[in-house]
Structure formats: C-alpha cells, structure tokens
Amino acid sequence: MLLAAAVVSYAGPFNMMFRESLVNEKWLPDLIERAVPMSQGIKPMDLLTDDATKAKWANEGLPTDPLSVENGAIMTAASRWALMIDPQLQGIKWIMNREEPHGLVIIQQSQPKYIDKVIYCIENGLPLLLENLPVDVDAVLDPVIGKQTIKKGRGLIMKIGDSEVEYDPKFRLYMQTKLANPHYKPEINAQATLVNFCVTEKGLEDQLLALVVEHERPDLQEQAKTLVRQLNEYNITLIDLENSLLFRLANSQGDILEDIELIENLEETKRTATEIESKVKLAKTTEVSIGKAREVYRTVATRGSLVYFLIDNLNALDRVYHYSMANFVYVLIKGMDMTPGGKDESKVPEAQRLGVEEPLEKRVELLIETTCYTVFSYVAQGLFERHKLIVATQLCMSILKSKGEMQYLKFDFLLRGPKVMGVDNPLSDWVSDSVWGSVQALKELDDYSNLPDDLIGASKRWREWMELERPEDEPLPGDWKRMPEFDRLLLFRTLRPDRLTSAMSRFVTNMIGGQYVASQAYDLERSFADSSPGVPIFVFLSPGVDVAASVEALGRKIGYTSDAGKYTSVSLGQGQEPIAMNNLSQAHKNGGWVLLQNIHLTIDWTSGPLEKKVDKLTEGAHPDFRLFLSAEPPPALEKGLPISLLQNSIKLTNEPPEGLKANLRRAYCQFNEEMLESCAKQAEFRSIIFALCYYHAALLERKKFGVGNIPGSTSGIGWNMNYPFNAGDLLCCGQAANNYLENNVRVPWDDIRYIFGEIMYGGHIVEDWDRRLANAYLSKYLNESLLEVVEFFPGFNAPGNSLSHKQVLEYLDEAMPPETPLAFGLHPNAEIGFKLREAETFCNSLVLLQPREAGGEGGMSVEEKAKMVLDDLVERLPDQFDMEDIRGRVDEYSPYVMVAIQESERMNTLLAEMKRSLAELDLGLKGDLTMSEPMERLMKSLATDLVPGSWRLLAYPSLRPLGSWLQNLLMRVSQLSEWTADLGVPKVVWLSGLFNPQSFLTAVMQTTARRNDWPLDKTVIVTEVTKKQPDQIDAPSRDGAFIHGLTLEGCRWDDKAGVLDDSKPKELFCPMPVILVRAVTVDKAEMKDAYQCPVYTTEARFREEVFTAQLKHKHSWIKWTLAGVCMFLDVV
C-alpha cells in the first residue's frame, strides 16, 4: 500500500524508465532494508487497478502501453487534481471520451471571462478540462487547484476571488499542457499531481502499427479492434458477475441453500463464466494469428516512431522547429497513400506508379522508404539551409543505430572530436599540432591504433592525400581505403575536418539516398495542397524575400485575388492588430485567404488573441478559408513565437540564394534600365552602380567567413559585428550617386565614398575596425580607375559602362568565375577556416540532437564522466599565491610590481572558485549534498569538456575547451610564479598569459613617462618586431618591454625581410617572434609604411581589442584590411 501511495504521489512527472528505477532500485530495497512487512511479488499497479478497469480505459481511448495505463491509475487514484504533460494530446483525448457523457466543459486560461465557467462547473458538479495551460497559472485558480474548501453549515464553500462559491463534491478538474518540459512554480507541483503523458518510442510504435495495418489491411485492423473490444467486454462482464455474486452472498438472509434466487444467480454466473472462458480461449487463438499478420508491418511503424522522435527534438537546433502529432500522422498517412505497388495507386505520382501489386516483403520496403522520405521532405521544407544536412545526418545515424550497425565509441568520437595535446609531433612540417592531437586521441579506438605509425611510415602518400582539394573524392592511402564508410568519416574528422561536411553528405547519400541531401526549392503550391482551413501555412522571412508576391501569384492562379474580394493582406505593426483580426474573422466565416505578415513585430498579440484564434480555426471554418503567416524567427533573447501556432502550421523557409554571384545579381536587379538612363552622366553612373552592387554583395556575403558577435562565434575575420545591410541602403546610395553626378562637373569620388561608407552603410557600423574595412572596399572599387577596365577580383573585370541592364545580367551569368575568398580580398586560407568552423558547428549541432540518455551503449553517464574529470582537476590544480609573502618582499611598488600583484590576486580568486565549486560538486555526486542548479551546470560542463560559466566569469576571454584551457591556466600560473619569485621585470613577458594585458602595456607607458617626465596622456605605445625567439632574449629591454605569444591571422610575417607577406597555403595562423613594445610621445609615433594592426584576445574579436600594433609592409593598407589581418593573444 505504501509503495502504491508513493507511485501515485511522486512517480507521475517521470518517464517509464525512471519510474521503474524509483520502484525497483530505490523504494523496494529501502522497504526491505527497513523490514517493512509486505506481500511478496506484488506490484503497485495490482493495487491501483485491475484488468476490467484497464479494459474500460482502453474502450475510452486510453493507449494500452504500460506508461499510459500507469498514468490512468495515478490520475484515478490521486486525491489531488491531475495536470497532464501532454504534448501529443494522448491524455486529453481519453479525458474527453471519458467525461463527455458527464457534461465535460473545456476552457483555456486565455479565454475572456473563463472564471465564470469554472464557477459554473464547481456549483453544478460538472467535470472541467483546463487545456493548454501556460507556465504562468492565473493566481485566481489557486484555491481551485489546491481544493481549498471551507465547511459552512452542511455544505462546502470555496472562495474564488471576492466571491464565495458553493462547492459540489461531484466537481472534477483536469488540467493539460502542450509543453513537453514545463517549469511550473513549486506551489503547482505541490497542489496538483503532474502526470507525464509524453509518448514513448515503443508506445508510439504500437499506435503507428495500428495506423499502418488499417491502411494496408483494414479487414485485419477491424478484426483486431473488435477482438480487443470483445476481450475488454468479457473482462468487464466477469468482474460485474463476480461483484454481483459477492453482493448477494454478503446480503443473503438465513440458510443460503434455501435462497433459490441466489442459487439460480450462481448457476447463471457459472454458465456465463464457462461460456466467456471458451470465448476468451478462442479469442486468444485468433489474437495470436492476427498479431502474426500485423507484425509484418512492424518495421514501418518502427521507422515512423524513430522519425517522429527525431523531429520532436529539432527545437534543440532552433526554437521555431515544433511539430504536432496530428500533422505527423497526416503526413505519414499521405506517405502511405503515395507508396507505389499497392492495390490503389490513384494518389501515387504518375512517374512512380508500378501498375502491379508488389509482394508483401517488397511492399513493406517501399512503405518504409516512401513514408520516411515523405515525412522528411515535409519537415525539410521548413528547415533553414544550415540545418538540412544536420537533420539528414541525424536521421541516417538513427537508422544505422536502430539496425545495430553503429559503434557508440566511434560515433561519440565523430561528434566530439577529442584531442590529446602535448605529444611530440614528428610531422610538424605538414601536420599541424591540432591534427596530431586528434590522431593521438583516435589511436585509442580499435582499428586505428596503427594510424600514427602509418602516417610516419607512408608519409609521402598521406601527405599527397592530405593536400588534395577534395580528398573525399579520392581513395585513402594503403589498406585504409578498405575501411567501412562510417569508419572513414573518423579519419576526415581527424585529418581533414574542413572536408567533413562534404564527406558526410556523400555518406548520407550512399546510406539512405541522395534525395535526403538535395536542397528543396521553395514551393508554395506544393505546400498549399497539404493545408486546410485549420492548418495555416507559416513562412519564415529572410532578407530580400517577398512572401506576399508568392502568395498573390498562387492566388491569381487559383482565383483568390483581392479584386474578387477573396484575398486580404495585413502587415502587422502598431495599431494593425484589430484590422488583422477583423479580416481573419471575416475570411474564416465567409471563405477567402488572409496573409498576416511580420507577426513577430506584435509578439504579445501573436501569443494572445492570434494563438487562441488559430487553436480554434477548425470550428465553423469555411472550406475555402486559408491562413498564411510570415515572421522572422525572433533572436534568442527575445520572446519566442507561440509553440501551438508553430505546431499547427505547415512551415516553409524561403531563403535567398547564397553566394556572391546570387547576391550581386539580386542587388543589380534592384535597379532597372529606366533608372540607369535617368542620369546625365550615364557611363559614370552605370560604372558606379555596378561597383556599388558589388560592394553591397561583398559586405553581405563576407559574413559567412565569421561574425564576432553572433552567439557561439569562434571567428570574426568577416566582421566584428553583424550589421543589417539591406536593399534600402543600396537604393539610397544609388540615388545619392545620381544627385552628386548631376550637380558636379567631375565625379566627386571623395564625397561619394564618404556618403556611402560613413553615412548610408556606415550608419549601421558600430566598430571602428569594421568601418575601416567598409571604407577599404570603397577605396579599392570607387576611384578614377573604375571608369576604365577595373578588376574586381582575379578573372573578373567590371562590365563595360555601355552595356544595358539586361546585358550586364547576361555578362554576370556568363563571365563571373566561381567564387573564392579572393573575391572579398581574403586569402584562400579563409575558406579552410570557414569550413573548419562549419564542421565544428555541424558536430556541435548533432550533439544537441542526441537523445538525453543516461550512459548506455558502452558510454559513461554524465555523472561518471564529470566525476572522472573532477578528480583529475582536483589533482592538477595548483596552490594559491601567498599574497602576504609577496607584498612583504616588495621594496618599491613600481608599475610592473603592481601588475604582478594584481594578476596574482585575480588568479587566486579564480583558483578559489574552482576549488570551492569542485569540492561542492564532489559532495553532491557522493550524495552528501543536494544537487543545486549551479552544481548541475558545472557537472554538465565537466562532462562535455566545456569551461563552466562560473569560472569563465572570473577568468579571461578564451575559446578553448576545458582540457586545453586547464593546460593554458597552469602555464599562466607558472609565469606568475616566476615573476613573483624575484618581483623584477621579466626578460620577456608572455602577454597572452595575463588576465589584463592592457595593464602591462600601461605599466610600460607609465615607467617611460616617469623616466622622461612626459605627460601620460601624450604617450602612446609603438611596436617593433624583432628576429628573436623568447629563449634568445638575455635581459629585459631598457626602453620598453619584450613580449611574446602573439599570433597573426590573414597573412604571415616574413622574418628575413621583416615585413608582412601572403600566408602559405593551409597555414591559417603565423606565430610572431618577440616584439619590443616601447612608449613614445604622440608626435614621434612613426606610422609611415606601417600597417595599423588590431590585437585581440581571441579569434572572436568582438569587443576584445587589447591595443594596436604597427607592422611594416610593402603593399597598400587596403590589401591587409580586406584580408582581415590582425593579431591574437590566444589561438585554440
């Protein structure tokens, strides 16, 4: 009894696996240990329900899987009202069927005056269903949820708001939420019984099997349904007879044998029971044969269940990816209709019809292929381009996993790409230390132990393969070419991570078919076929995409136009909400199409009245009514679009084509021949407009190489910040150029460049270095040479200024060569960096899509991984600095001594927090402390090799994973230990190892200014690159300080010539020799022939500038600016 009470009270919110663990691993052993008397072998479910009750629930529509049956038992046995976590609407269907005969009232919290209906139900003892309950539950409902009644006379009273309501004991309350993982306030958890109805993979598989069999063999499914119903009725009849008999026996007067009615009833019961028993035997035999016939289709249901759980988890990639179970089932049935080789091929596309009925085995294969691709295709039409290959890969891996064809450890390596750093690299001339670190990690897996030796032994063949432009198209060296295809992916992850996405695309094609990686064009007409009055079409907006045009074009084709009064469009914004709602209500009632654009701009209205309206669209809708919606996906920090709105809709993405050519074409199409002819200086105007369009396209497309302020960014070589350059800027610049040409005899290049770079486009730009970049493009393209033949990038010249608008577009299609980083002024290596980051993002996204499982399949659980890392960290963490001892040894507090003391104090603060949090987590993992949210976050970070947030706040900017970050931390401690040992000026300072490198540079300026009696605000830092390495420095500099640890990106440093030069192929970064930092007065700062090079802390660049270095060069500053040349203190 105690165990059953515990299940009812506490097990409801958890899934089946966790519930079983609670009962069998926690509660039962505890009861046995405490010697609590109990029956052997009894289960909580035996006490909470019986077969007849289960049969009754099944007839009412409750799924028959163990989780759902347990949920039914918990809900009926609990004294508190139930709150169902029910995203797939399984529980709500059961409650509706169960309570409808008793006058069920269904309301939502968002309805106006909903509380009146609550009061009505309480007074009249009617069942009430509060559906789609949000996380913020209205406080007025607290007494209802908490059953807060007061006895008044003979009756019960409940106080709701200001009014007292008579409470009818027959009143029942059910609550339901569509949120899969809601966070209700603790009071709700205490007052209500949370019941988790989230469908399980096995439960869904059984439900889908019924769907498939109903489609393929309706006779068989009908038989199965009838049989289940009969068996349930037999169980109910038997229990009823038993109860009736027991009642008569209990209430019998005198001698039982003389009670004729009782004896007759006993005979009747016996006869009926015997009859039912024989029928049950027959039914069980039939059940087995029907079961065998249905099992043939099990694989189709298994694949369907697998695909559903994949798409249900897609919101981990982007919070707009939400799909309802109803939509999924609709598309699955559509997939079955479209499968060739069946009895009826009327819905199969003509090109795919076979004209014959296929044998059962082949038919099942075709069903799996067609349903899987139909559902994938439905989902893919609403995915952003960057996520399509990720989802296809996850589907492919899930299929391999379900077939048992994937090894967990290898897949984990592919996802996480671990590295073992610090091992000597004998191939450093062509294998980077980072790649060698990956090789050392990979050799720990079976089948790869010989890889390091083979790389050394067959270095010529491996080097040739490694330096191929497209290695995925060529066989691997030696015996490695015979490896299974999946195993080869690990070699790409290790040796050529920049080609991993291309190799993965090929792998997915070979495993499940090329159609899964082929991009789908935006096709509103195809999606319209799936829509209905209750299913809106939702288009996600992208820059430069006009949704209204495509909806209007489809409307004209079908006959729904605004002229015919059958189409209205409202662009949402301030004050447009009533107009939109009025148009929506009119079309819903009378038929017609409504397009509501930019619904993200009125997010409160979208989450309130519109969401409520869409939830009830099916009620009383005209068959010709259709709703189209468009919105930009809101940024991560803003309120998201309503989940139920996203679940109910068919989602489409319409992204502009990527690439410089597509952007340049689209920019040039903003102008037309009439606009180009409107200027008196036509030749100059045409040249300027083309250069302006190229400038616009280059600014936009450069973003793909890395934008520093995008969350999670690891490179800012494209831009430090993301700027919303748009077609409006382009057209305004075109108009301004026209005006300047009309009003000046000669072309005022300086004025035009200033207007474009500082005002029109420059108005968006915040960062100074980004402004310099935008102006560098203008200086390169907009000058006198533009009126001759100018080369925009190698192999592409500007079109002649006598060509018409149409001829220029033709010239672009024919003459523009394939895009390379050179088109943006970047070095070809920038493509490798971009591809490496793309592969890293790809793998990180795949990690997000993995099911949250505790260990299993040969992998450690999160707790085990975290504990292993924790023990290692505790062992390696150094002692804190003794600040009293350091201060006691100070003779004079010079600027350099102050830097050393400040750095030591900061390091102590960080080490103290690390030790404190690790000790706390250790106690939590042992069970001596309750796990808090910060401890959970720390555990997750340790398990996934990430630097915990609480440490990052006290540390220095870094993009390193935890393992590498700790090594870096120990090196920083080592430098500080040496510095604080004698408190002198170090011979050469590892600038990267300081928390606040600016303070050291300020100390250089202060020391020099004091020595020469200069004002500090008239003193600046200048740099001079030496030809020495740190170990060649014998003594500190007399007129400044030697620093090292800086790394150059975008070009290399020519040691012999002492100038900047182009990078070597595949060499993304160039370590700098020792640099002398000196302080001089402003007037003596030599800037001639020196590139002003920004120095940043990490590769992300954004808001991480340390100082500006001067590097000698022989080319124009424009070349290095466009190449994104800068230096970093720390490179991963």
Task: Convert the pLDDT of each residue in 977-1004 to its tens digit.
Answer: 999 998 888 999 999 999 999 999 999 9
221 confidence band (pLDDT: 50, 70, 90): confident
- More confident call, 253 vs 162: 162
pLDDT interval class at 42 (50, 70, 90): confident
Q: What is the pLDDT of residue 574?
A: 83
Give the pLDDT score at 673: 92
The dihedral sign for the CA sequence 806, 810, 816, 819:
positive
- Edge-to-edge strands of the sheet including 1126-1128? 1069-1071, 1047-1049, 1126-1128, 1090-1096, 1105-1112
Q: Is the pLDDT of residue 958 over 70?
A: yes
The pLDDT of residue 854: 40
- Read off the amino acid at residue 796: F
Least confident of 334-348, 841-855, 1062-1076: 841-855
Taking CB atoms within 8 Å and a gap of at least 24, the contacts of 924-933 are 925/863, 925/866, 925/867, 925/870
- Kindly provide the residue ranges of all beta strands, DSSP E only, lying in 98-181, ordered along the sequence: 105-108, 127-131, 149-152, 155-160, 163-167, 172-177
How many angstroms separate the CA atoms of 1111 and 267, rounded?
108
CB 1052 within 8 A of CB 1102: no
For 56, which DSSP code? H
Q: What is the mean pLDDT of residues 348-377?
A: 91
Structure tokens, 915: 């030790």
Q: Collect contacts of 557-560 with beta carbons under 8 A, ≥24 apart.
A: 557/525, 560/592, 560/593, 560/626
Task: Give yes or no for a contact between 708 and 715, defined as CB atoms under 8 angstroms apart.
Answer: yes
Question: For position 853, what pLDDT does the model report?
Answer: 52
Whether the Cβ atoms of residue 194 and residue 286 lie closer than 8 Å to each other: no
Q: Find all residues with CB under 8 Å of 403, minimum gap 6, and list them.
A: none
Share of the chain above pLDDT 70, in %: 99
Query: In the block, which residue shows the tokens 């790394």?
Result: 1047
Q: H-type helices in 927-1044, by residue range?
A: 933-943, 949-954, 962-982, 997-1012
pLDDT band at 856 (very low <50, low <70, confident <90, very high): very low
Angle between helices 325-337 and 298-312 (to 10 degrees): 140
Q: Is the CB of residue 1128 less than 8 Å from the CB of residue 1073?
A: no
Q: In the prediction, which pLDDT does 637 show?
A: 65
DSSP string, 673-714: HHHHHTSSSHHHHHHHHHHHHHHHHHHHHGGGG-BTTSTT--
The sign of the dihedral angle between the CA atoms of 70, 73, 77, 81 is positive
d(CA 784, CA 767): 28
857 pLDDT tier (thresholds 50, 70, 90): very low
The predicted structure's pLDDT at residue 192: 92
Res. 88: pLDDT tops 50: yes
Contact 74, 23 (CB under 8 A): no
pLDDT of 51 over the 80 cut: no
CB atoms within 10 A of CB 997: 23
Between the CA of residue 80 and those of 75, 145, 363, 873, 894, what are the distances in Å? 9, 8, 50, 47, 71
99 pLDDT band (50/70/90 cuts)? very high
The DSSP annotation for 612-628 comes to HHHHTTTTT--TTEEEE
pLDDT of residue 706: 92
Q: What is the pLDDT of residue 544?
A: 65
* Token couple for 262: 């009782």
| CA–CA dist 594, 375 (Å, integer) | 27
Q: How far is the C-alpha of 911 from the C-alpha of 917, rounded, in Å?
A: 10
DSSP state of 8: I
Contacts of residue 463, Cβ cutoff 8 Å, sequence gap at least 6: 430
Instruction: Please tell me the distance from the alpha carbon of residue 293 to that of residue 726, in angstroms, as a whole number.
Output: 61
Quick one: average pLDDT of 548-560? 91
pLDDT digits (tens, 9 = 90+) for 609-630: 898 888 888 888 999 999 999 9
pLDDT for 596 beyond 80 = yes
Report the alpha-carbon distance of residue 222 to residue 236 in Å, rounded.
21
The pTM score is 0.82
Query: What are the angstrom distances between the C-alpha of 698 and each of 405, 736, 818?
Result: 45, 20, 14
State residue 1009's pLDDT score.
Answer: 94
pLDDT at 858 over 60: no
Give the separation between CA 646 and CA 629, rounded to whole angstroms: 10
* Average pLDDT value over all residues in the chain: 90
Residues whose CB falls within 8 Å of the CB of residue 1061, separated by 6 or more in sequence, listed in order: 1051, 1052, 1053, 1054
At position 156, the amino acid (one-letter code) is L
* pLDDT range class, residue 59, cuts 50, 70, 90: confident
Nearest Cα neighbor of 808 from 948, 918, 661, 942 is: 661
C-alpha span between 418 and 411 (Å, rounded) = 12
